[in-house]
Amino acid sequence: MNLVMVKYNSGNVRSVDYALQRLGINAIVSDDFEVLKSADRILFPGVGNAASAMQSLKEKGLDKLIPNLTQPLLGICLGMQLMCKQSEEGDTPCLGIVPLEVKKFRGMLKVPHTGWNSVYNLKGGLFGGIQENEYMYFVHAYYAERGEATAAECNYIQPFSAAIQYKNFYGVQFHPELSAHAGSRILSNFLKSGL
């Protein structure tokens, strides 16, 4: 398995790498076009600010490369949001891969949404062996709206996309690397051939 994590200034590479090591998987971290294009699977982790993350991707030319990759790619947290059309965070145009908008939580509950919450309406191979209403760990102030690409939902202030799937692109708003056994299962599912 040739697994590559996208290298840019907003990737939470270390914690994801630890989770992969627990599964016996070693990943390469790279921003090299040829390394990314030749990967079997790509992880696109992210934490932080959408505008600065997109700036980093543009400086490296990755904003042009990533949407044209053809192998399975999994965006995590901010990585998932960056695959959408637009984010309200800094009114930022994103990669435009998935036809969803990213909105800011507004309401009476505490923002960011931090901690364990259940996911439901699970669809697709990413959730093989995961039960409805399984708990995952979230840390985010922005969310992707629901749409045809939604592969799982969560409810905090309002329902939102906890996961997405569009062509060969997958995304999870929660952190699988922090979500105990269920998160490990999702990473394992992503790494399986035939996903």
Domain ranges for the chain: 3-191
CA dist., res. 65 & res. 57, Å (int): 9
What pLDDT, on a 0 to 100 scale, did the predictor assign at position 57?
96
Has 59 been annotated as catalytic? no
Torsion of CA 9, 189, 134, 19, to 10 degrees: -50
Per CATH, the number for 3-191 is 3.40.50.880
> Cα Rg for the chain, rounded, in angstroms?
15
CA dist., res. 67 & res. 165, Å (int): 14
- Angle at CA of residue 72, ends 148 and 104, nearest 5°: 45
pLDDT at 125 over 80: yes
- Find the catalytic residue in 84, 113, 154, 177: 177
Categorize the per-residue pLDDT at 1 as very low, low, confident or very high, splitting at 50, 70 and 90: confident
Categorize the per-residue pLDDT at 195 as very low, low, confident or very high, splitting at 50, 70 and 90: confident
What pLDDT, on a 0 to 100 scale, did the predictor assign at position 119?
98
Question: Per-residue pLDDT tens for 98-118?
Answer: 999 999 999 889 999 999 999
Question: What is the number of residues in the chain?
Answer: 195
Name every residue whose Cβ is closer than 8 Å to that of residue 176 and which is 6 or more positions away in sequence: 19, 76, 136, 182, 183, 184, 186, 187
> Which of the pair, 123 or 9, is modelled with greater confidence?
123
- Find the catalytic residue in 89, 113, 154, 175: 175
Residue 130 DSSP code: P
What pLDDT, on a 0 to 100 scale, did the predictor assign at position 75?
97
Has 94 been annotated as catalytic? no
Question: Per-residue pLDDT tens for 44-100?
Answer: 999 989 999 999 999 999 999 999 999 999 999 999 999 999 999 999 999 999 999
- Find the catalytic residue in 34, 59, 77, 89: 77
